[in-house]
Amino acid sequence: MKLINGYDLMNYAKKKGYILPAFNTTNMEMTYAIAKGLDDAKLPGYIQISSNNLRLSNPKVIADLARDAASRYDTPIGLHLDHGKSYADVQACVEAGFTSIMVDASHLPFEENVAEVAKAVQFCHFYGIPVEAELGALQGKEEDIVNEADAKTDPGMVEEFVRATGCDLLAVSVGNVHGLDLEPHVDLDLLKTIADISPVPLVLHGGSGIPFDVIQKARKCGLLKINYGSDLRKAFIRTFGEAYEANHNAHDVISLSMKAVENVSAKAKELVEVINA
């Protein structure tokens, strides 16, 4: 199948009552692995890549890989820019064929966050692409970016933020954290309060490490998308680490890369199945 438009993916998930995983990729192997894992589970989701991870490649390379990966299967798969850090990145990803966009200006003061997001929304909506934005800040480590601040999303700012920006998805900070170094403590009451106010569905970043029963409860609180990065990256890295530990002369890259694809796709399949159980 071709990559599915973000609006169509969201509507499909809402109709079916699914929660959509967004799995972070960095390279070719992880891209193919994510698509395979979603199709093995026969459940929809996103391949996503952050601006920070596009340093290794570029939007066109990732979009070409994702298109080829999705073309092998019937399962609906979207391609999402995660933590888009500039308008230029947003434009380049739309140009390359991404079907969903996040612009992350949550580190800026409210008014500036609104302005950055509204500008990206106007551009993306012209091309029929939904936009995710973030209000609040997550602690933790997103790849090599560490954020100490833990600014929970203020429910009193949600409605104005969504109205003023026109965003289609809202990433919230409710005790979720990026990475595996910190313990997430998701405040489901706060999530429910925000969900009851928000005109758009919610997104949880920092999926790795959140207990599955919490996610299943969060799914009932208006959560539509949940991001997973570290769990899959760990599955990829372990494949090579274990091989090297077993044999310091390990050098069979193709076999290890294919094993890594299997391990990452198995993790993706496990996650998408359990959060939709």
Contact footprint for Zn ion (CB under 5 A): 205
Q: Which is nearer to ligand G3H, 39 or 142 (CB)?
A: 142
Minimum Å gap between C-beta 208 and ligand G3H is 3
Of these partners, Zn ion, ligand G3H, none, which one is at the site of residue 228 (CB under 5 to 8 Å by kind)?
ligand G3H
Among the listed ranges 72-80, 109-117, 127-135, 222-230, the one in contact with ligand G3H (CB under 6 A) is 222-230
Question: In degrees to the nearest 10, what's the CA dihedral of 208, 210, 213, 219?
Answer: -80
Minimum Å gap between C-beta 242 and Zn ion is 27
53 contacts 89 by C-beta, under 8 angstroms: no
Helical axes 188-197 vs 212-219, angle rounded to 10° = 20
Catalytic residue annotation: 82
Among the listed ranges 35-43, 65-73, 217-225, 228-236, the one in contact with ligand G3H (CB under 6 A) is 228-236
Interface with ligand G3H (CB under 6 A), residue from 80, 192, 205, 219 = 205
Three-state SS letters, 5-67: CHHHHHHHHHHHCCCEEEEECCCHHHHHHHHHHHHHHCCCEEEEEEHHHHHCCCHHHHHHHHH
Chain position whose Cβ is nearest to Zn ion? 205
Instruction: Establish if 207 lies at the interface with ligand G3H (CB under 6 A).
Output: yes
Q: Residue 91: left if φ>0, alpha if ψ -120 to 50, beta else—which one?
A: alpha
Report the site for ligand G3H in 68-127 (rule: CB under 6 A): 82-83
Instruction: Establish if 178 lies at the interface with ligand G3H (CB under 6 A).
Output: yes
Report the site for ligand G3H in 30-49 (rule: CB under 6 A): none
Interface with ligand G3H (CB under 6 A), residue from 4, 9, 24, 263 = 24
Report how far apart, in Å, the C-alpha atoms of 177 and of each of 143, 187, 259 are.
Answer: 12, 12, 29
The stretches of the chain forming alpha helices (DSSP H) are: 6-16, 28-41, 59-71, 87-96, 110-126, 155-165, 188-197, 212-219, 230-246, 253-275
Tokens of 264: 């990452």
Minimum Å gap between C-beta 103 and ligand G3H is 13
The residues binding ligand G3H (CB under 6 A) are 24, 82-83, 142, 178-179, 205-208, 227-231
